[in-house]
Amino acid sequence: MEQAPWICGHHRLLLMGDNPPIHTAQASTDWQDQHEIQKLDWQAHSPNFNPIQNLWKTMKSQISKLYQPQMVEELQHAIKAAWTDFHINLLYLMP
């Protein structure tokens, strides 16, 4: 697998998944281990308790309220703008 462009620097990554096959495949787990990505134990099929799912829902809502992107570039700009609007403390609330 190729190294993802967002995996760089001194950022510590934490994978939170509800055990979908793509995250538990041998190639995926080997790649995660090789890149020292920590895995957070999480109940399968528990989206109501999943802060990442709730974060995506909030971002989608904010983007649809503030922007009406018609092109990929506009959508990328809207996503970046919505993301920077989130309070930095959200990152520190995550396990």
In 3D, which of 39, 35, 30, 40 has the Cα closest to residue 11? 35
More confident residue, 34 or 91: 34
CA 82/CA 58 separation, integer angstroms: 9
Radius of gyration of the chain (CA): 15
Full-model pTM? 0.43
CA 47/CA 43 separation, integer angstroms: 9
pLDDT in tens, 3-31: 454 554 556 677 776 667 776 788 888 98
| Segments making up each domain of the chain, as ranges | 1-44, 50-93
Stretch 35-58: mean pLDDT, rounded? 71
Please provide residue 14's backbone torsions phi and psi, each rounded to the nearest 5 degrees. -135, 120
Stretch 29-45: mean pLDDT, rounded? 77
